[in-house]
Amino acid sequence: MDALINAVTDRTFQIALLVSLAAIATVFTVVAPFLEKDKLSERMKSVSSHRDALRDQQREMLAKKSNKSLRINTPEGMIKEVVESLKLLEIFDAEAARKKLMMAGFRGQRPVFVFMAARLSMPFVMAIIVGVYVYFLDGFELESFGRLLATIGGFIGGFYLPNVYVANTITKRQQVIQASWPDALDLMLICVEAGMSIEAAFQKVGHEIGSGCSELAEELGLTTAELSYLQERKQAYVNLAERTGLDSVKGVVTALVQSEKYGTPLGQSLRVMANESREMRMQEAEKQAAALPPKLTVPMIVFFLPVLFAVILGPAIMQAMSL
């Protein structure tokens, strides 16, 4: 033990130990760069493998959906034969109808054929319903000329009824998407600034926002699938804007296309657009709140004032009648 203490405290041993440590450190400093792995290539490799995994997952999901829904969306039977034989696709502008139906959430060829058949059949159906009501059930107690006008009005209304239904569906769907779009932009901004690719960001945002807005989650999922399959990524973004028909979405699509084409930073653009979308949502809420008092005027006059007058004047009237 004494020999060990003497060796440790010996100045010559201490100098030799320090020289040895310095030599080892020098060798490690020279050899370490050759032993170090390329972290950038490993990170890019992991990103590529993750992208391939996402693409395979999207293909599996589309394959499963196609097995279930391709037969449903394929037009078959009498509707297809009637529409093609009467050339309704050319008469009623099938391309414009297809875009409207996509904005309403109806995709594929079958909704187009059903819509064309509805535009052909609904005038006759409404005319028959109105005619039976006014002629056989004496609904409005009209004269013969009035019944004829009512039947003609039902025919004209049936012609526009499919368009009204689709327009109403589009409006409701756009309102739901617009309400959730600022939150989706905030999540997308977080994902992009965290280093995620735009496909992964779309998929993550769609998964997170799906419980609150299934329509927006569906659109983001379709965009993710199109980014994996389409040759031009720009077309996937343009399709997203066409399916939603919202100006706020078109602005984000423009920023995404510019980022893809020119390499401009996407984070700042998303931050500005998220603030604008949030302000637009607040302005819409303020607009609805400002329109509430005029809307409440008629219900207050009809329901509140008679009750108020009865409560105030009722005792006086009863007292006057008892005299």
Query: Per-block average pLDDT, block size 10, for the chain (323 residues)?
Result: 63 73 78 58 46 58 50 54 67 79 83 84 88 77 80 88 91 88 87 85 85 84 83 85 87 84 78 82 85 85 85 85 77
CA distance 202 to 266: 14
- 182 and 166 fall within a common domain: no
- 184 and 287 fall within a common domain: yes
100, part of any domain: yes
246, part of any domain: yes
- 183 and 146 fall within a common domain: no
- 166 and 267 fall within a common domain: no
CA distance 78 to 113: 10
CA distance 9 to 15: 11
CA distance 83 to 120: 9
Domain membership of residue 133 as a residue range: 73-172
pLDDT in the model for residue 59: 61
Q: Which residues contact 250 (CB under 8 A, 6 or more apart)?
A: 241
pLDDT in the model for residue 56: 64
> Among the three residues 135, 156, 172, which one is the final residue of a domain in this structure?
172
* 5-36 pLDDT tens trace: 666 567 676 677 777 787 787 877 777 666 65
- 205 and 245 fall within a common domain: yes
> Among the three residues 129, 155, 172, which one is the final residue of a domain in this structure?
172
- 201 and 133 fall within a common domain: no
- 282 and 217 fall within a common domain: yes
Split into its structural domains, the chain has a count of 2
pLDDT in the model for residue 168: 93
CA distance 282 to 75: 43
- In whole numbers, what is the pLDDT of the chain averaged over residues? 78
CA distance 148 to 151: 5
Q: Which residues contact 220 (CB under 8 A, 6 or more apart)?
A: 184, 202, 203, 205, 206, 209
262, part of any domain: yes
227, part of any domain: yes
pLDDT in the model for residue 120: 83
161, part of any domain: yes
CA distance 5 to 150: 117
CA distance 291 to 23: 82
pLDDT in the model for residue 66: 46
